[in-house]
Every structure is written in structure tokens, then in C-alpha cells.
Amino acid sequence: MTGPPYPHPNPQPGSNAIGLFAIGISPIGDITPFDVWTTVLAQYANSPIITTLCTNMAQYVDQTQNLDSFYDVLWNAATAVGSGLDVWGRIVGVNRVLQLPNNSSYLGFNEATSWQPFGQAPFYSGATVTNNFALSDDAFRTLIFTKALYNICDGSTPAINQLLLNLFPGLGNCYVTDGENLTMTYTFQFVMTPVQFAIVSNSGVIPRPSGVATTIVQGVPRA
């Protein structure tokens, strides 16, 4: 953003302002570095000692870059990364780490009902240490914005459908239906990955009203 690196000089009484910071007027991010020469009086401008002290002090204590980085990496949810997104996740109430369903199949014999034949499943390699999966920054950002919308939406069918479209854009039709008998069904006309299913089933982003039985249906619709 362009403009002076300081709040609006004369915010009007009663205007949208926080102290001297005028909302919608004062610049945020990409702060213009402070010009130390605006503080040096003309009669001292040719003093090498004074000018050196001023310029060195400006370099030592200038926080312009730090404040700009703080805004981009932490404060602005649209550009935050890593721990900055983790903070936003705690604010809206969603976790980066999801618990994936454990439905693995392995090679075995027909007397064991959970085993699969040759060419259908891999050899058993031992029990997995954990089923936890950490979302990437981009995927977690989408989850954060969706949870933020969930926090302020009215829980109606159109609002929930918008949540689903935000979570799974371009993957196929997905929608919720009300059974009108204390049941509701989330239908996904595509096969979800284990991560996508974990988002729907246990991330806390999809509304599940108390006392209402919820069913998840997925798969390619029949012609």
C-alpha cells in the first residue's frame, strides 16, 4: 500500500477509528520506511557525528520490516503461514491435524474376512504408529475460512451447502438434505479421499445439530 507510515492525521470525532488509527484510511502492510532526515534540523545536517548517530540509530531500532512481516505471516489470514495459521486455527476453533479413518486392507486368506486376495492389497507391514494427518498451509487456510463462515452462519441448508462448496470446489455436487425426522444426509457425488472424509467427519467444520442423526453418502451417481 502507498501512503504515509503513520495513522490518519486528523480522524474525525465519531468516525470509525481505533485511537489515531482510522479504519479504512490508515495503511496496513508494506509500510514505507521511516525517513530519519525528516527529524534532523537544518543546522545539524552537516555535522558528521550527529548525522551518523541518527542514521545508525534509525537502522538499529527501525521495526518497519518486522511489523510488515508480522502482518503478512501472522496477522493476515489470507497470507499467514505455519504457526501464524495455527494461531488462526485456534481463534476460529479448528485443528490442522486430522484423525484419518483406519480402513486399510492387506493381503491374506479367505478365512480372515478383513483380508484381500493377490493383486488387491499389499502385504501387512505392521501396525501404523498413528492415523494423524497434518494439513498443508493452503488446505488448512481453506478449512480456517470455512470454519469462520460456519461460526457466523445461521445453520440453514443454503448456508451449509455454501460451506461444502467452499471446502470442495470443482470436485462435483455436494449438498445436505433434511429428512424432516431428526435426520440429515450429506451427499457427495464423488469419492472422497481419506483426508476429505476426515474433514467432513471429524474436523468440526460441518454442522451436526444435537439430537439429529447425520449420514454421509459418497460416490458417483448412477446414470
Please check whether residue 212 is in contact with residue 182, taking contact to mean a CB–CB distance below 8 angstroms: yes
Taking only the tens place, the pLDDT of each residue in 64-74 is 778 888 888 88
Q: What is the CA 44 to chain-centroid distance, rounded?
A: 51
DSSP string, the chain: --S-SS--SSPPTTSSEETTEETTTS--SSPPPP-GGGGS-GGGTT-HHHHHHHHHHHHHH--HHHHHHHIIIII-TTT--THHHHHHHHHHT--SEEE------EE--TTSTTEE-TTTSPPP----S--EEEPPHHHHHHHHHHHHHHHHS---HHHHHHHHHHHSTTS--EEEEE-SSSEEEEEESSPPPHHHHHHHHHSS-S---TT-EEEEEESPPP-
- The pLDDT value given to residue 220: 63
Closest Cα partner for 137 from 181, 77, 221, 201? 77
pLDDT tier at 36 (50, 70, 90 boundaries)?
A: confident
Taking only the tens place, the pLDDT of each residue in 162-217 is 888 888 888 888 889 888 888 888 888 888 887 888 888 888 888 887 888 888 88
How is residue 175 written as a grid cell?
Answer: 449438498
* Averaged pLDDT for residues 149-168: 86
Taking only the tens place, the pLDDT of each residue in 76-107 is 888 888 989 999 999 988 888 887 665 555 55
- The pLDDT value given to residue 88: 92
The yes-or-no verdict on residue 145 having pLDDT over 70 is: yes
The yes-or-no verdict on residue 151 having pLDDT over 80 is: yes
Residue with cell 488448512: 140
Please check whether residue 34 is in contact with residue 6, taking contact to mean a CB–CB distance below 8 angstroms: no
| pTM for the predicted model, two decimal places | 0.60
- The pLDDT value given to residue 9: 45
The yes-or-no verdict on residue 5 having pLDDT over 80 is: no
How is residue 147 written as a grid cell?
Answer: 470454519
pLDDT tier at 3 (50, 70, 90 boundaries)?
A: very low
The yes-or-no verdict on residue 125 having pLDDT over 60 is: no
